[in-house]
Structure 1
Amino acid sequence: MPDDSISLLPAHEIARRVRAREVSPVEVLDACMAQVDAHNGTLNALVTMNHGARDEAEALERRIARGEDVGPLAGLPVGIKDVTEVAGVRTTYCSPLFTDHVPTEDAAVVRRLRAAGAVILGKTNTPEFAAGGNTWNHVFGRTLNPWNPERSAGGSTGGGAAGLATGMFALAQGTDLGGSLRIPASFCGIVGLRPSVGLVPTWPQEYAWDPVQVTGVMGRTAEDVALGLQSIAGPGEYAPLAQPVAGRDFGAAVRGADVRGKRFAYCRDIAGIGIDPDVERVCRDAAFALHDAGARVEEIDLDLAYARKPFLALRGHWFVSQLYPYLDRVDEFGVNVANNVRAGLKVTPTELAEAEVTRKRIWEEFRALFRTWDQLLTPTMAVPPFPVVENFPRTVAGKEMETYIDWVAPTFVLSMTGLPVASVPAGLDAEGMPVGLQIVAPPQGEERALATAGIVQRLRPLPHPPVLSHGG
């Protein structure tokens, strides 16, 4: 029988044990598959398995036996979001238009994960074309939350978050346009990082010069995210946007983290939509707990509500650009994607210009903020995980939302900045559901965001999700 406990170890510890030959890649894979067998039938996190995963693990095992260095992700099973191509593995974009699509080559991020020694376990559930903060689609259905299967796992990387929280894989790859790595991280009690635009190449995609969506990873710990990021960051041959990585060591930043003397600003509601009082309480407690680590924390007023409407213009433009080859088939998309494309087709040049001017304004506002503060802390979500049968929550703290996407404004207004933003578990609310805290760092400040996330995790540790003790 496989040792299921291996699957719940931090990814960096699993990789260390594999490199030290204390456990083999096949044993790690078996442990993760035991978790898939136990919990995926309930949670619906993985939607397509990579049937070559065992061959990949066995090949790594032979290389290790020969004394080869197989890379920093040695034997780590990884879940790949089903909008990211894996050669020979069905990739549907969770859309009925592509139910039988099998790519012939890996996406750039998958190539890098493989080169670093990872094993591709399978594809994780997401809304159609990653459109939405609740993971459901007409191809595979809904992903459920491992803390309460009646609640949403968040989205759009919801399958990655639910599978990661339950040990189905050690790292989860995903994308983030308006919060898709941070929302499910908050709802499922794990760490997600939206990296700077261009730090990780997103290829292939139709919108090659995309200034908003990014590719990244989620992990059970900040150090795990750092390990994954180290393996996938850097300029790409086909990606025109890039960030420098030479000399950067994300893992060392987490391991050597020290916030003594650092200045943190805390803002309770950056998007002006209101916030659930219990969610805010948990985030406030976590933010001010950094005092215990020697930091200075003060509450500030920061109103980014002006960025909400301009972001929706950019979002609409993104959907039209990304799905341009299929504009004649809009009626075949699900309601969320179809409505986003139709909204994008109505965006005017003036509205796009306003959006770009707003991005300049928010960039300059953060430049000014970082002259006084080292990082910004703010709740990831304004609401706790809501019933999974709802497409989205209609109200926040009793206030009706203006649009179906407005409830994720606390994440999407920060997407406008292009800055690195982490979501780290801040604690549990009164119903025992995870609450995430966002950490916004200065330009090229992934190390700082992850270092602070690591300290928050040490100060505010979470137990394992209840589904692990209750069974599948």
Structure 2
Amino acid sequence: MTTSVSSAEDLARLDAVPLAEAIRSRKISPCEVVEAVIDRIERRDGPINSVCTIAREQARQAALAAEAAVMRGDPLGPLHGVPVGIKDVTPTAGIRTTFGSKLYETNIPAADAEVVRRLKAAGAIVVAKTNTPEFAAGANTFNEVFGVTRNPWDTRLSAGGSTGGGAAALAAGLIPLAEGTDFGGSLRVPASFCGVVGLRPTPGLTPLRPSALPWDALRVAGPMARTAEDVALMMSAIAGPSDASPISLPVTMDGLLEQMRNLSVKGLRVGYVDDVSGVGIESGIASLCRRAAHVLADAGAVVEDTVLDLAEGCEAFPVLRGAAVLLTHRSRLDQIDKMGKNLAGNIKYGQSLTLAQVVEAEAARARLWERTCAFFSRFDVLLTPCAPVPPFPVEQNHPTHIGGKPMRSYIDWIAPTYVLTLVGVPTASVPAGLDGHGLPVGLQVAAPRLHEATVLGVARMIQQLVPTPTIAPGFAA
């Protein structure tokens, strides 16, 4: 097999859909792809620190097997030979998985998480583990094991979190696909900061196993890539029923790529909301997102500026998050002094909660659901800014002001994403353009449950109508 791509650099930066097609048609060798990706990570990742472990031996063995399958003419999966980065909170067999924690610094799992098993079954090759805050607790990616991940668009700034390593690796052109998890915005916030596409699927579509909370629907596994088409391809590989998950839905996403390509936005009812959570928003971000939303009208959509008030979620989400964190780490309470301050603080907050607080949070969540249902009776799609602030200095744990006003809580700035977590609808962040400082801004696209094809079809249309570089300028060559 010989490559028709001009250089190994070009090969490493290919998106997943064309890469998978080139491998199937024998224009590109899986071994060449894996070597190009490993080489690019080794040479270019230093300034951003997105990758914490390179799975050299495993990836090379998988590439040899993938190439042999192509040459034999075996049936090939949709991701055959395509490299993927796995978030370092997701177990990978034989590949170090630290959870960003000193407690698991040398941990090497014996088995893959179900989402990794599915990716491998689809032919993907695990080439790296990507950096994360400790146990994914935080929206700025740093930990005491590997340090901080920086934004490829400006290495002085945060890449967001908690799937910050995956987003930064994509924006630097190091990998074509990244797996991640999303609780309060962990796929969407870093996608926004780094100018890529991250999808939080409908809970129950993708397996989150192993999990300390198998009945929980707040935390999900999901795909991230540079294009909505690549996200659809990856989502089709990881979605589907799982007997081992009690919240699993009897639904597959087979044909998702074709469905989202075929989506017509003509006549689609689109509701644009500036501030869905009531925390405020930087004016430049709002204007950029509003403009991107209204560009859909050029393709025939019916776009309306409207209101969806999910501000109650700002009180409910921290409570439900605190309870979930406490339950997740209840077996490690005697080791809390060995944890970072973010994770330890979240656990202690969970310990302080009363039953009355949890009950009221669930009641508020029910009210938010009813408002969301009413919204989607009028509109097919919700568009709203992803992050209310631009990427902030990487040394900060979080921003302190939104639109010049001090935040009430240190997690206020991710409220636009976590209020949509609470209502359980599929939501993606897609680039809406660059701000006045040349930094990407993400627009959230949400639709009713199980309407992933609509979410990704609209995201694809936005990428076509509002073209934004998918690789940061400093890494484009």
Q: How far apart in 2 are the matches of 1:453 and 1:139?
A: 35
After TM superposition, the structure 1 stretch with the greater mean CA deviation from structure 2, 242-251 or 38-47, is 242-251
Question: Once structures 1 and 2 are overlaid, which stretch shifts more, 269-278 or 428-437?
Answer: 269-278
Q: Residues 21 and 81 (structure 1 numbering): CA distance in 2 closer, same or farther, change over 3 Å?
A: same
Deviation at 1:208, TM superposition (A): 1.2
Any idea what the Cα deviations from partners look like across 1:109-167, whole Å, max 9, x if unmatched? Answer: 00000000000011100000001111011110110111111111010000000111222
Q: Cα offset for 1:47?
A: 0.2
CA distance in 2, matches of 1:7, 1:358: 47
Deviations along 1:175-222, one digit per CA (max 9) or x if unpaired, are 000000000000011000000111101001111111200000101110
| Aligned: 1:41 with 2:46 | yes
| 2: CA distance, partners of 1:59 / 1:247 | 27
Match of 1:162 among 145, 168, 183: 168
Distance 1:408 1:87 in 2: 32
Specify the alignment match of 1:87 in structure 2.
93
Residues 30-429 of structure 1: pairs in structure 2 closer than 5 A: 30-51=35-56, 52-246=58-252, 248-429=254-435
TM-score normalised by structure 1 residue count: 0.98
Which whole-Å CA distance do the structure 1 matches of 2:55 and 2:327 have between them? 30
Deviation by residue 1:343-363 (Cα, 9 ceiling, x = unmatched):
011111111111211221111
Distance 2:322 2:250 in 1: 29
Percentage of identical aligned residues? 48
Contact preservation (8 Å) 1:319, 1:341: yes
Q: Does 2:16 match 1:21?
A: no
- The 1:203/1:391 distance shift into structure 2, 3 A limit, reads same
CA separation of 1:237/1:38 partners in 2, compared to 1, >3 Å: closer, same or farther? Answer: same
Give deviations 1:57-86, integer Å, cap 9, x for gaps. 111101111111231001110000000000
After TM superposition, give the deviation of residue 282 of structure 1 in Å: 1.0
Query: Quick check: 2:113–2:210 contact (8 Å CA) kept in 1?
Result: yes
Alpha-carbon distance in 2 for matches of 1:415, 1:99: 30
Deviation of 1:244 after TM superposition, in Å, equals 3.1
Other-structure match for 1:453: 459
How far is 1:243 from its partner? 2.0
Q: Which amino acid aligns with 2:38?
A: M
The secondary structure found in structure 2 opposite 1:41 is coil
CA–CA distance in 2 between the matches of 1:355 and 1:274?
Answer: 22
- Contact kept? 1:157, 1:181, Cα under 8 Å: yes
Partner of 1:466: 473
Shift of 1:405: 1.1
Q: Cα distance, 1:2 vs. partner?
A: 5.3
Contact persistence 1:2–1:34 (CA under 8 A)? no
Deviation readout 1:218-269 (Å, 9 max, x if unpaired): 0111010000000000122321111232475210122112100011000001
Q: What is the alpha-carbon distance in structure 2 between the residues aligned to residue 8 and residue 254 of structure 1?
A: 23
| Structure 1 residue identity aligned to 2:32 | E
CA distance in 1 between partners of 2:95 and 2:467 (Å) = 36
Residue by residue over 1:407-446, the C-alpha shift from the partner in whole angstroms, topping out at 9 and shown as x without a partner, is 1100011100111001100000000000000011011111
Is residue 431–residue 440 contact of structure 2 (8 Å, CA) maintained in 1?
A: yes
Rounded to whole Å, the distance in 2 between the matches of 1:465 and 1:204 is 34
Residue deviations 1:378-413, cap 9 Å, x none? 000000111111110000111111111111100011
Residue pair 1:257, 1:454 contacting (<8 A) in 2 also: no
The aligned amino acid for 1:45 is S
Q: Secondary structure at the match of 1:48?
A: strand
Which residue is 1:10 aligned to?
A: 15
For residue 193 of structure 1, what is the amino acid of its counterpart? L
The more displaced of 244-253 and 76-85 is 244-253
- SS class of match (2:190): helix
Which ranges of structure 2 fall in alignment gaps of 5 or more residues? 1-5
- Which stretch of structure 1 is more off in the superposition, 449-458 or 363-372? 363-372
Assess if the C-alpha contact under 8 Å between 1:2 and 1:30 holds in 2: no
Q: Which runs of 4+ in 1 moved over 4 A?
A: none
- Equivalent-residue separation in structure 2 for 1:252 and 1:245 (angstroms): 17
Normalised by the length of structure 2, the TM-score is: 0.97
Contact 2:232 2:256 in 1 (8 A): yes
- The size of the alignment, in residue pairs, is 470
Q: Does the 8 Å CA contact 2:239/2:253 hold for their aligned counterparts?
A: no
Cα RMSD after superposing both structures? 1.2
Amino acid at match of 1:40: D
Structure 1: distance between partners of 2:353 and 2:53: 36
Cα separation, 2, equivalents of 1:465 and 1:86: 29
Query: For the residues of structure 1 that align with 2:304 and 2:88, how far apart are their CA atoms?
Result: 40
Query: SS at 2:46's partner residue?
Result: helix
The 8 Å contact of residues 48 and 123 in structure 1, kept in 2 or not, is answered as: yes
Letter paired with 1:367: C
Q: Which amino acid aligns with 2:473?
A: P
Give 5+ residue unaligned stretches, structure 1: none
